[in-house]
Structure 1
Amino acid sequence: PRAEVVHRATLLAGAWKVENARATLEGILTAETTVPPVREGAMQGLSRLGGVKARDFFDQVFQSHPAHRSLAVQGLAATGPQLAAKRAVEFLASAKTMAEAAPILTTFLNSKQLPAILAKELAGKTIPEPIALEAVRMVSTRGIQGPLEDALRAAGGVKSMSQSLTPEQMAAMVEKVKTHGDAKRGEDIYRRANLLCQTCHAIGDAGGVLGPNLVSIGGSAPVDYLIESLLDPSAKIKEGYHMIILTTKDGGVISGGLVQDGNEEVIIRDPANQIQKIAKSQIASRQMSPASMMPPGLTASLREDEFVDLVRFMSELGREGEYKIKPNRFVRAWRVMGAMTGEQIDHVRHVGLHALHEKDGGYPWEVRFSKVSGALPLNEVQMAKMYPWFPKIAQISLKLDSPGKVKLGLSSTKAVDVVVGEAALKEITPELLLDLPAGTHPVTFVIGRDAGELASFSVEILEGAAQVAY
């Protein structure tokens, strides 16, 4: 059966309390061949079945299946919160990256009761500073009150950064930005995933919408304002970007930017840039946070010279020069391929490159945005271990309201394969003319290692009414 069908079945088995399905769900969760969406469905199904059996099974998975420890903790959060907190701290203590830790933290932060339980378990424990710093940012971004943030800081040994500068220090910093700041280096710093800049802010048409668009910030804001905004985001919050915190009657907590306040429901854009719709009948309380949705301390990991470069880059945005968005219709929103499984690689090799467009393929696509110049840096794209191409794979989506032709300009064609719809194009030229029906169409670029030391790749819409969808 198709993965999406099995996924739905695992959820329904739990929702309908089908006890006879418990063993099957346990087998699905631990089987090596299970694809991630189905494995997560099995975890949710078992969580809904609940009981001591589910709690003990999740704890067993945590101890005997290292690859599934994150899912085990998520399951424990629903079936044994105290044990979940204990295992979560053990997991965080050994986590190497925030990508590992984020799902577990999200599980605890999406509940009104669990943050306090996790905070209590953290007392006297030690976790890596980088993990603690990112966790603090997650807590702050969601506007969560209580002891968890302090507990994370203590466990990770996170030192608070000064949130203000004296007038003399500010003047000196402004001068450093003007004389020593490097906007090119600053753009690379801005793009670092751990700073979350692109998650919340757009530059032009690409990026998050949780915070203000920065396309012209350098032309409208003085350097000292930029510095203060980075060090103390809550000092001055732009109108329309205050954080709303909703507590639901079932104990849930939802926070983010207000998108719409209707008669029947409130629509929030949460810190993960996802839309959340909450029926007004389910809201227990609502408040506006005095804190910015941009958490303090985001730049705490930067050296002073890196901070200076970042501010210099922001100060150039919108000014005449290379950091002003040009009128060219460059594609600025991409999906790039993450780490594929061996099974996925074999499937594409045997079926053909058009298999990359299969909706149920479970491919690990990751969102990326072009630089201000329109170029996608290829050092931000993983190489797939796919013989014989060993490619870097990037995908765009073109949306047309009516059938029409679209001409694309490619910055490079050497060792580049292009997949449109269900077919790989036979001839790749610097200008590609596509004849597309109405709708949204994926276009995938497979950049082989024979392309050489290609630093970046760009696509420009030269002709046609297509819009980039993401």
Structure 2
Amino acid sequence: MVSSRPHSASAAGRWRIWLVWGCLIALIGGCGPNEAPPPSGDQAQEPAQVEKVAAKPATVVAEVKKTPKKKKRKRRERPKPYLSEYGLFEGPMAEMRPAAGVMPYDLNSALFSDYAWKSRFIKVPEGEKIEYREGTAFEFPVGTVIAKTFYFPTDFNDPAQGRRLIETRVLLLRESGWIGVPYLWNDEQTDAVSEVAGETVNVSWTHYDGEQRSNPYIVPNANDCKRCHTTGEFFEPIGPRARYLNKDYDYPDGPENQLVHWTRTGILTGAPDDPSQAPKSAAWKDEQSGTVAERARAWLEINCAHCHSSTGPARNSGLHLLASVTDPYKLGVYKTPVAAGRGSGGHKYDIVPGHPDESIMLFRLMATHPGMAMPEFGRSLVEDESVALIHRWIEEMQVPEGFDVSNGIGEFETLTDEQLAEFAQEVAEQGDAARGEEIFHRQRVNCFKCHTIGGAGEGFGPDLLKPLGDQSLNYLIEALLLPNKAIPKGFETVNVVTDSGETYAGIVLEENDSELVLRDLTRPEIRIPHSSIEQRNAGVSLMPANAVSTLPRQDVVDLLRFLTELGQPGEFQVTPAPVIRSWQVLDPLPSNIARVDANRFIADLPQRRDLTWEAAYSRTNGALALESVMAVPQSSLRIVRCQFNVTEAGNVAVKLNATDGLRIWLDGDAVDPAQLNSLNVEPGTREITFMIDLDQRDDKTLRCEIHPAANRPAAVQP
């Protein structure tokens, strides 16, 4: 047998020779004997300075290289087109019998979805476990599938008559995070197909009262999943949490607590052996599961708190509805809305204790019109049973201590010259600016929700240190009591009604030929196509007319005195020092905080999505008033944190007014107070966390300045 290798080598050699000659010919032909190659780069920009040189013979080595293979990009797993492909069920799909390895589950209280019933299932990859978390969603392994099927029994009082499956919403956990995919069941009820664009399905049923009902049921699109399931920066499940799962489920071999069953079957780790040691939400429909208040709060949490929390999309509304919230004002008691528009129903406060029919909350739960209904999406009907519960809760609610508004100043339709003069005299003679600053910082007054002082605040309304025109005392009185009389330039609002019935009120950010862009207190950007606008007119001030109506007259006088002295030379002049003015306060603190390892607790904070951080701001002198910061019951502990930006690496010096009673962490690492004069930092946003024991601290404030250190100073911005 004759080998072909010599022939191949010879051919390769000939190719190299021809390639060398080709390169030489190209070089010789491209330049004459006294010409240089064409200049390039900087040389081309300075032709007069190019020196002509003779071409020199060159040795050219040509090498034939194999074209490197392109790396195959890892294909991103796409959602399966049919629900059946996930292997969740065995037998006929419509029977929804869970396959091996698929766990059915239920919740104490569930989201209202136009009276649809639901069946829930979870599938964890074989050999993997779910990690228990007490307050937030559990930690699921990659590959987890959570499915929730929405259906309507023919007769709510006799489900055995049959049912119609409408949709199944699937959550898939990938390496990159969770995604949501809706699946629409076919008419034959044999499978469900991915329907990312959403759909509307006409449904009918016999209700609990025996009446026949029908409704166009809306299947959400894939993007709608993010509206409920996004908490801060995280997309996560809502239902599978300890407090919702802590109940019995009727398994084929008998009822058992779900947390216990999941642990016993090996899919859950870390849960308490005794479920009574785990949190448990009331079942709002079950009168035996809790008081009226507990059941009402359970309904509000599961239906509303994914938006109305300190990390939800409606965080700027100031209405926070997690069951752990204890501040009556955050629950809406005598709280004025920040951007309700027509959604207020003409009412003044979110909740008026003892008067449900005067409360915005109940009005919005009973509304179905877009722009007025709450929740804003996911329903088109009113849930009569939950409305009755919320009505009873508000009706039985007592006015909390310190919330008596009977001596409030009330609202003003107008102010006469005599009234203005009387107010001005009281401010000058009786006003207490220091007390006025304390009132300005109160959560109930909520000034920082819109305004800023020296850059600290939400930044929606005017910075109170910047002149806005007439700054006389009369102007400030009218701005506070009659906010619609003189709206500062640049803060005028417009009201818009679209052809779909949605209403918007906000400040105009931008307008072009195709769309109007607004901003309100809860959304930084609202894009409205001109083609969809049916009505547009000038709006009122976003500062509620009754913003201070519940305050006693002396409180208003003190607040005005503070505003007149703010920024003036003296006690209320904002210092130019690099002091921290914006803070975050952990509120409420976990009840066991005094018993846990502090270093471990602080290190775990970035993953503790169940904890609530509330905004707080320093006084004009730069000090944070610690006694106004929420604490653990029967504890003097406080936890606060602040951020600063580093633009160039180096060392910073942290200057505090006092270090007694403090434990300090920089980006999760414990810091010795003796080292505060020189802390090494890298570029980016850096975070300092303080655990404060007020009993060990003489100064009940915390003032923090961030300076470049003397040694290898970093470039910083507080």
Question: Does the alignment reach a TM-score above 0.5?
Answer: yes
Instruction: Please give the alpha-carbon distance, in whole angstroms, between the structure 1 residues aligned to 2:149 and 2:512.
Output: 32
The answer on 1:307 being equivalent to 2:534 is no
Instruction: Please give the alpha-carbon distance, in whole angstroms, between the structure 2 residues aligned to 1:25 and 1:101.
Output: 30
Instruction: Please give the alpha-carbon distance, in whole angstroms, between the structure 2 residues aligned to 1:224 and 1:369.
Output: 27
The answer on 1:405 being equivalent to 2:651 is yes
Q: Taking every aligned residue pair, what percent have the same amino acid on both sides?
A: 21
Amino acid at match of 1:435: N
3-state SS, counterpart of residue 229 of structure 1? helix
Q: How many residues align?
A: 406
1:81 matched residue in structure 2: none
Equivalent positions of 1:351-370 (< 5 A) are: 351-356=600-605, 358-370=606-618
Residue 244 (structure 1) shift: 3.2
Equivalent positions of 1:17-56 (< 5 A) are: 24=105, 26=107, 35-36=135-136, 49=150
Which residue of the other structure, out of 419, 431, 436, is the alignment partner of 2:681? 436
2:509 matched residue in structure 1: 259
Comparing 59-68 with 391-400, which one deviates more in the overlay? 59-68
Residue 249 (structure 1) shift: 5.5
Residue 453 (structure 1) shift: 4.0
Instruction: Please give the alpha-carbon distance, in whole angstroms, between the structure 2 residues aligned to 1:165 and 1:369.
Output: 32
Residue 269 (structure 1) shift: 3.1
Contact 1:403 1:437 in 2 (8 A): yes
Residue 50 (structure 1) shift: 7.2
TM value normalised by structure 1: 0.70
1:204 matched residue in structure 2: 454
Which residue of the other structure, out of 314, 329, 353, is the alignment partner of 1:98? 329
Amino acid at match of 1:182: D
Contact 2:336 2:547 in 1 (8 A): no
Residue 232 (structure 1) shift: 0.7
Comparing 178-187 with 336-345, which one deviates more in the overlay? 336-345
3-state SS, counterpart of residue 441 of structure 1? strand
Residue 343 (structure 1) shift: 6.7
Larger C-alpha radius of gyration, 1 or 2? Answer: 2
Residue 146 (structure 1) shift: 9.1
Residue 347 (structure 1) shift: 5.8
Which residue of the other structure, out of 686, 697, 703, is the alignment partner of 1:458? 703
Contact 1:244 1:289 in 2 (8 A): yes
1:175 matched residue in structure 2: 425
Contact 2:584 2:641 in 1 (8 A): yes
1:234 matched residue in structure 2: 484
Residue 330 (structure 1) shift: 0.9
The answer on 1:382 being equivalent to 2:627 is no
3-state SS, counterpart of residue 292 of structure 1? coil
Contact 1:325 1:372 in 2 (8 A): yes
Instruction: Provide closer, same or farther for how the CA distance between residues 71 and 217 of structure 1 changes in structure 2, counting only shifts above 3 A.
Output: farther
Contact 1:421 1:441 in 2 (8 A): yes
Residue 352 (structure 1) shift: 4.6
Q: Deviations over 1:74-127 (max 9, x none)?
A: 7679xxxxxxxxxxxxxxxxx98232248x999x959x8x876x98xx9xx984
Amino acid at match of 2:419: Q
Looking at secondary structure, tell me which structure has more helix per residue: 1
Equivalent positions of 1:187-226 (< 5 A) are: 187-216=437-466, 221-226=471-476
Give structure 1 stretches of 5+ with no counterpart. 1-12, 39-44, 78-94, 139-143
3-state SS, counterpart of residue 291 of structure 1? coil
Residue 354 (structure 1) shift: 2.8
Equivalent positions of 1:274-423 (< 5 A) are: 274-278=523-527, 280=529, 283-285=532-534, 287-342=536-591, 348-349=597-598, 351-356=600-605, 358-384=606-632, 390-423=636-669
Higher relative contact order (CA 8 A, sep 6+): 1
Instruction: Provide closer, same or farther for how the CA distance between residues 437 and 97 of structure 1 changes in structure 2, counting only shifts above 3 A.
Output: same
- Aligned-residue RMSD, C-alpha: 4.9
Q: Deviations over 1:390-446 (max 9, x none)?
A: 521110012223323222211110121111123111x20495322111111221011
Amino acid at match of 2:474: D
Instruction: Please give the alpha-carbon distance, in whole angstroms, between the structure 2 residues aligned to 1:339 and 1:251.
Output: 39
Instruction: Provide closer, same or farther for how the CA distance between residues 402 and 254 of structure 1 changes in structure 2, counting only shifts above 3 A.
Output: farther
Equivalent positions of 1:73-112 (< 5 A) are: 73=300, 97-101=328-332
Contact 2:516 2:530 in 1 (8 A): no
3-state SS, counterpart of residue 476 of structure 2? helix
Residue 460 (structure 1) shift: 0.8
3-state SS, counterpart of residue 437 of structure 2? helix
Instruction: Provide closer, same or farther for how the CA distance between residues 390 and 304 of structure 1 changes in structure 2, counting only shifts above 3 A.
Output: closer
Contact 2:519 2:525 in 1 (8 A): yes
2:224 matched residue in structure 1: none
Comparing 259-268 with 329-338, which one deviates more in the overlay? 259-268
Residue 260 (structure 1) shift: 3.5
The answer on 1:446 being equivalent to 2:691 is yes
Amino acid at match of 1:256: G
Instruction: Provide closer, same or farther for how the CA distance between residues 279 and 452 of structure 1 changes in structure 2, counting only shifts above 3 A.
Output: same
Contact 1:62 1:73 in 2 (8 A): no
Instruction: Please give the alpha-carbon distance, in whole angstroms, between the structure 1 residues aligned to 2:372 and 2:604.
Output: 48
Contact 1:344 1:361 in 2 (8 A): no
Instruction: Please give the alpha-carbon distance, in whole angstroms, between the structure 1 residues aligned to 2:295 and 2:658.
Output: 41
Contact 2:648 2:716 in 1 (8 A): no
Instruction: Provide closer, same or farther for how the CA distance between residues 395 and 279 of structure 1 changes in structure 2, counting only shifts above 3 A.
Output: same
Contact 2:109 2:283 in 1 (8 A): no
Give structure 2 stretches of 5+ with no counterpart. 1-82, 89-93, 97-101, 112-131, 139-145, 157-165, 167-206, 209-243, 245-280, 305-325, 365-369, 375-390, 400-404, 709-713
Q: Deviations over 1:18-63 (max 9, x none)?
A: 9969963526969x9763567xxxxxx9999475889999996255
Residue 379 (structure 1) shift: 1.4
Instruction: Provide closer, same or farther for how the CA distance between residues 404 and 372 of structure 1 changes in structure 2, counting only shifts above 3 A.
Output: same
Q: Deviations over 1:178-237 (max 9, x none)?
A: 111111111111112122211110011101222111014599600011111111100011
TM value normalised by structure 2: 0.48
Instruction: Provide closer, same or farther for how the CA distance between residues 27 and 307 of structure 1 changes in structure 2, counting only shifts above 3 A.
Output: closer
Residue 304 (structure 1) shift: 1.7
Instruction: Provide closer, same or farther for how the CA distance between residues 431 and 59 of structure 1 changes in structure 2, counting only shifts above 3 A.
Output: closer
Instruction: Provide closer, same or farther for how the CA distance between residues 292 and 51 of structure 1 changes in structure 2, counting only shifts above 3 A.
Output: farther
Contact 1:246 1:283 in 2 (8 A): no
2:227 matched residue in structure 1: none
Q: Deviations over 1:320-342 (max 9, x none)?
A: 11212111111000001111334
